[in-house]
Chain A
């Protein structure tokens, strides 16, 4: 009697996983190139408003970010919940905004300083008073280019959320 040898139930050949590291490395390199490491710790609430007509900032090297929002996390205990301005990695008062921004301006390369843009990243809960004061302070030190940073989305959601 001849026993037919069937593959059924037998050992399956092992799938080679040798190329798996390569795939993961490709992913890794992809992320390393597209990503920037966050050196700024966000100390204020920062949910940006929606906009549909927003333009991309061509360069991020020549922009100075100013965050406006209520303090969050451990800062609430010290500062309460009134809106604060964060520049770099610290809180600044309204009368220090101009000086601090100029300080930041000197950290960007000289050939880019002329085109320096202020990226105003204000939270949705902010009132215009703070924004107007910041704009006036920056105007006093000849910084006219302002970018109201937004996220892509329907603008009318901005209004609905207030109700």
Chain B
């Protein structure tokens, strides 16, 4: 009987080592998913033709040496975002005419776009253009749209567009709130629709 009174203590010192081994195994074999990127849609198969006024088209070209040409002029990559913003947000139609853009903050110049709905960006690339440069341009265009949308959303709803999008995708948001957010995001997207057309340059 007296033998059972004191059980020998199990040595737990090696437990930590075992757990460490498991931990290191997981660290080595696994990777944290960090998928993020620029979302784009390729156009559907049916060829669509539309008459576009020259002023409503913002031409960006990248040649085989990855040089940037905007509206027929060689430009720096750092200038692209501002130039795109100026073009999209121009709002060239005069007040009173149909298609007048009341929320545009642009200079309302005659040679730039009528309103954001009509503004189309045409991005031409050559087969020899570097992918990184293409991504840079796409990023700058996305940035231009995001900034315009943020400003518009801030004025209308008091929170930025990106903030609303983030909130929309986070878990635990109530359905009513989601509905509100969705309609707000839709509204902003209609104000500044993203219209980017891609063309391939065969001989520059």
Contacts and interface: CB of A to CB of B under 8 A. Distances in A.
Interface string A2-13: 000000000000
A21 B20 CA distance: 8
B129 A158 contact: no
Interface size class of chain B, counting residues whose CB lies under 8 Å from the partner chain: 35 or more
Nearest to A68: B131
A124 B38 contact: no
Given A21-B16, A135-B42, A162 B66 contact: yes
Given A17-B13, A149-B35, A159-B77, A53 B127 contact: no
A77 interface: no
Secondary structure dominating the interface of A: mixed
Contact of A35 (B30, B39, B126): B30
Contact of B33 (A36, A152, A161): A36
Interface size class of chain A, counting residues whose CB lies under 8 Å from the partner chain: 35 or more
A112 to B, nearest CB: 15
Contacts of B135: 49-51, 148, 150, 155, 158
A95 interface: no
Contact of A49 (B78, B126, B131, B146): B131
A17 B16 contact: yes
Interface stretch (B21-29, B85-93, B101-109, B175-183): B21-29
Contacts of A148: 37-38, 40, 135, 138
A162 B16 contact: no
A145 interface: yes
B15 interface: yes
Contacts of A132: 125, 127, 200
A156 to B, nearest CB: 7
25 contacts: A24-B16, A28-B22, A28-B23, A32-B26, A35-B31, A36-B31, A36-B33, A37-B29, A38-B29, A49-B131, A51-B38, A53-B142, A53-B146, A54-B36, A56-B36, A56-B169, A120-B37, A127-B127, A127-B131, A128-B125, A128-B131, A139-B42, A139-B45, A140-B45, A155-B77
